[in-house]
Amino acid sequence: MHRRTALSVSAALLLAAPLLSACSGEARPGTAAVVGGERITTSALQAQVKDVRDAQQRSANATQLVANSTQLERVKLSKMIQLRVLEKAAATAGITVSTKETEEVQKSRLAQTGGQEKMDEIMLAQRVPLAPGQVEDEVRFQLLFAKLSDRYGEDKVLEPLAKAAEQLRIEVNPRYGAWDTRQITVGDQKIPWISQKTRPEQPPAGA
């Protein structure tokens, strides 16, 4: 596996505060968060939310799916930030995930679940709902976490992740909540993301 070169963020970090905050101290319009000096725009976040809502509305279980995802903006923003934290920690450790790896996991899951339609329903019913076009990033998320856990041990993997998050100087628009450095998430979610089952295991056939 080729070692990924860590990106230099020192200059970008100097711009992080002005990107998020206006002179009045209010959050700058159009910015959901700043991670490593790079903006996550509200338009990018809203696009992810819209994709999920559109997919939910096409489901026979639309009412239940929407009712179970009232904090969709917040959890989606958390996931977008967390992926960047994982990528930072993985780059530092020389860990990579290839497109081929993500494709193999997706193909295996499709075979296990009985096809794309069933898979789409399963993805929409997760705690962090996924539209069909968002599955690849989720698989990448899971593979990165699994490889980091193998490298550092599941009981110690939080340490490099917390360090990566600190280095990225994460700022969140107060509209969506506050960044929780201890749980590595946005807002007051009760379940730390790190404690959830994130390895890309295959669901049982017919699930």
Taking 90 as the threshold, does the pLDDT of residue 191 lie above it?
Answer: no
What's the token pair of residue 102?
């993500």
pLDDT for position 180:
87
Taking 90 as the threshold, does the pLDDT of residue 192 lie above it?
Answer: no
Among the listed residues 192, 182, 178, 4, the one whose alpha carbon sits nearest the alpha carbon of residue 74: 178
Please state, as a whole number, how many other Cβ atoms lie within 10 Å of the Cβ of residue 117.
9
Taking 90 as the threshold, does the pLDDT of residue 202 lie above it?
Answer: no
pLDDT band at 190 (very low <50, low <70, confident <90, very high): very low
- CB 42 within 8 Å of CB 119: no
Averaged confidence pLDDT in the chain:
81
pLDDT for position 28:
64
Distances (CA, A) of 64 to 2, 22, 71, 117: 44, 39, 14, 18
Sequence length of the chain is 207
pLDDT for position 182:
79
